[in-house]
Structure 1
Amino acid sequence: MIRQHKKMILLTSIVTLLPILIGLLLWNRLPDTVATHFGTDNQPNGYSSKAFAVFGLPAMLLFFHLLCMVFTSMDPKAKDISKKIFLVVLWICPLTSLFVCSTIYMYNAGYQLNVQYLCVILVGILYLILGNFIPKTKPNYSIGFRVPWALYDPDNWYHTHRFGGKCMVVGGIAMIVTLPFQNIWLFLALAVIPCILPGIYSYLYYRKTFKSDH
């Protein structure tokens, strides 16, 4: 899988490191101690050196990006992972790197940003994208709702991911629509529930088919 997508992996790796160039261009506008973590009140509660913010964060995301590629390629069912969904996964870390680092640079350069709102919008859009692609995935151990009842029953996998895709889309829309009322508990609920419901659905589908077979 890595050989088949080596050009795209190279491109996404370069994009993941692109914030380093942006950080160097803004170097003189950034303080020596940079706010890199924010609380639910939109106030910084974690700080790092300027060098770590510019070089360390993109490097860490590149590490996770490549690690994800390696583990996905080692999947025994890697050949069943569709090209489209793999490309979506390929772009998660690069876009996250651009978003996170750009937000940190802009905040520390003096721009007034609501970091919480921006993060909610990012996750909401991600859920919308994944919700449209997840129903098209075939059984594998890397991408999707990998509960045992779905992994070992293609029919269960199909129906679970059709349902799960709808949950992700609804969750993403709900995050964006409720943005003016957002707080940490509402965000966690809207983020976690769409991931839990498909697992419950998969089990109930398994119980239903098990009873009908016996």
Structure 2
Amino acid sequence: MKKHIFPLSIIIINLLVWVFAYPHMSDQVPIHWSSSGEVDRYASKMEAMLTAMGLIIVVYALMAVTPKIDPRKKNYRLFSKTYDILVNAMMVIFSLINLLMVLSGLGYDLPTRSIAPVLVGALLIVIGNYLPRVRPNFFMGIKNPWTLSSDEIWKKTHRFGAKVFTVAGIFIIADGLFAIGPSVILPIILITVFAPYVYSYMLFRKENGMNR
């Protein structure tokens, strides 16, 4: 039960922030920003609140139930602390994004072009730091037919993925701080997603003698 205290506290704090800020917010609240930091979508403050709070609650609910329904749920005991840290990290990031939305709705002009990449990059670095500790399962980590076919491929892929995620996080933070260019983030994300998949496939071919 103790592991639920922090994420539930995050949810309650975010709800209180909305309750106190709601009467003072403009009728239309920014809920999405372009890669250049410009607002490209508005919503009513009720829709914004329900969307932001709904996302945080759904993320927590999914993370709470996942270890109970995963066919490999026994493996969660091997990385339970890591799992909790990653869940809490995601909750914190979503909470900060929620706060960004609230402050924008209150009329504050925030440097979203810098803040959003820094938050995303920080999350990638945290994930990269703990990725090698994740044990084989069907919900968290780099999951594909090759990593799930072999514990060794899973282990090597996650060690490789940890480096990719960390480097990607550093580049994205640098883009947020120094505005390298809006075209930089998408290629970095694509490389971060697909590089571990390609690497795991290469390991699978090697392990099964398919490179001959």
TM-score (norm 2): 0.87
- After TM superposition, list the pairs within 5 Å mapping 1:74-153 onto structure 2: 74-81=69-76, 82-153=79-150
- After TM superposition, list the pairs within 5 Å mapping 1:164-183 onto structure 2: 164-179=161-176, 180-183=178-181
1:43 to 17, 20, 38: 38
In the alignment, the residues of structure 1 paired with residue 12 and residue 89 of structure 2 have an alpha-carbon distance, to the nearest angstrom, of 13
> RMSD of the TM alignment (CA)?
2.2
Which residue is equivalent to 2:185?
187
Which residue is equivalent to 1:201?
199
Equivalent AA in structure 1 for residue 207 of structure 2? T
In the alignment, the residues of structure 1 paired with residue 141 and residue 51 of structure 2 have an alpha-carbon distance, to the nearest angstrom, of 30
Q: Which runs of 5+ in 1 are unaligned?
A: 1-5
Which residue is equivalent to 1:3?
none
In the alignment, the residues of structure 1 paired with residue 144 and residue 156 of structure 2 have an alpha-carbon distance, to the nearest angstrom, of 13
Q: Encode CA deviations 1:71-90: one digit per residue, 9 max, x unaligned.
A: 34211112212112211232
Pairing 1:157–2:131 present:
no
Kindly tell me: are residues 163 and 19 of structure 1, through their superposed partners in 2, closer, same or farther at Cα, counting changes over 3 Å?
same
Which residue is equivalent to 1:53?
48
Equivalent AA in structure 2 for residue 43 of structure 1? E
SS, match of residue 31 in structure 2: strand
In the alignment, the residues of structure 2 paired with residue 173 and residue 153 of structure 1 have an alpha-carbon distance, to the nearest angstrom, of 30
In the alignment, the residues of structure 2 paired with residue 11 and residue 46 of structure 1 have an alpha-carbon distance, to the nearest angstrom, of 31
Q: Percent identity?
A: 24
CA contact (8 A) 2:146 2:200 kept: yes
TM-score (norm 1): 0.87
Tell me the matched-pair count.
209
Q: Encode CA deviations 1:9-59: one digit per residue, 9 max, x unaligned.
A: 253133124222112222343112212222233222222222333344213
Kindly tell me: are residues 26 and 213 of structure 1, through their superposed partners in 2, closer, same or farther at Cα, counting changes over 3 Å?
closer
SS, match of residue 170 in structure 2: helix
Runs of 4+ deviating beyond 6 Å: none
Which residue is equivalent to 2:17?
22
In the alignment, the residues of structure 1 paired with residue 40 and residue 148 of structure 2 have an alpha-carbon distance, to the nearest angstrom, of 41
- How far is 1:182 from its partner? 4.0
Equivalent AA in structure 1 for residue 188 of structure 2? L
Equivalent AA in structure 2 for residue 58 of structure 1? M
Kindly tell me: are residues 177 and 42 of structure 1, through their superposed partners in 2, closer, same or farther at Cα, counting changes over 3 Å?
closer
Q: Encode CA deviations 1:152-208: one digit per residue, 9 max, x unaligned.
A: 211111111111111111111111223323444311211221221111111111111
SS, match of residue 36 in structure 1: strand
In the alignment, the residues of structure 2 paired with residue 74 and residue 182 of structure 1 have an alpha-carbon distance, to the nearest angstrom, of 43
Kindly tell me: are residues 27 and 201 of structure 1, through their superposed partners in 2, closer, same or farther at Cα, counting changes over 3 Å?
same
Q: Which runs of 5+ in 2 are unaligned?
A: none
